[in-house]
């Protein structure tokens, strides 16, 4: 195959496709204020949700984050799911199919719980995840908040504690 055969059918255009304006969120609006307009879509208050997000993204477990926010762990998991945080469902994707089968009425609940391999709480949370999608506007606000406060990202710049605790050393030591 020659280059002319490979290039056959290719054409050059004089215009580029307009992809829109890139958006950067530098409003520094607190997360709780961003969540206020979506309070009806969240299983707990915007303040509790903001606390959950901060605690969970700082590395705490869902249970610890929920205690800090003053909500039940199940409510905390539901709120994090609605915020678009991935990995909240306790069941593997193949076992979530069992939940969908139960929701579609193909199998009995007791059979679905047994087949899912989890307990009643795991099954209840998986059912919530299957029946409630993350709220896109909330997920975008949480993503912007997490990206803006990430210890290694170009965050807000108001954090004195470096995430790696000085493990990288200074650039002067590289010479």
* pLDDT tens digits, one per residue of 112-142: 999 998 889 999 999 999 999 999 999 999 9
Measured between alpha carbons, how far is residue 77 from residues 70, 117, 120, 147 in Å? 13, 19, 15, 21
**In the chain, count of helices (H) and strands (E)?**
9, 0
Collapsing DSSP to helix, strand or coil, 65 comes out as helix
What does the pLDDT read at residue 2? 85
What does the pLDDT read at residue 149? 57
What does the pLDDT read at residue 19? 62
Q: Which residues of the chain carry a pLDDT beneath 70? A: 13-27, 149-175
What does the pLDDT read at residue 172? 53
pTM score over 0.85: no
What does the pLDDT read at residue 22? 54
What does the pLDDT read at residue 158? 42
């Amino acid at each position: 195959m020659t280059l002319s055969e490979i290039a056959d059918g290719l054409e050059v255009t004089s215009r580029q496709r307009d992809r829109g304006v890139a958006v950067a969120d530098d409003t520094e609006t607190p997360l709780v204020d961003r969540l206020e307009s979506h309070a009806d879509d969240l299983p707990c208050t915007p303040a509790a949700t903001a606390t959950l997000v901060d605690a969970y993204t700082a590395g705490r477990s869902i249970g610890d984050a929920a205690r800090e926010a003053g909500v039940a762990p199940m409510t905390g998991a539901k709120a994090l799911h609605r915020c678009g945080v991935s990995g909240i469902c306790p069941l593997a994707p193949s076992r979530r199919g069992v939940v969908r089968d139960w929701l579609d009425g193909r199998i009995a609940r007791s059979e679905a719980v047994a087949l899912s391999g989890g307990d009643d709480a795991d099954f209840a949370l998986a059912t919530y995840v299957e029946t409630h999608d993350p709220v896109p506007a909330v997920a975008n606000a949480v993503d912007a908040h997490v990206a803006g406060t990430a210890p290694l990202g170009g965050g807000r710049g108001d954090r004195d504690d470096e995430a790696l605790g000085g493990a990288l050393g200074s650039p002067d030591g590289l010479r």
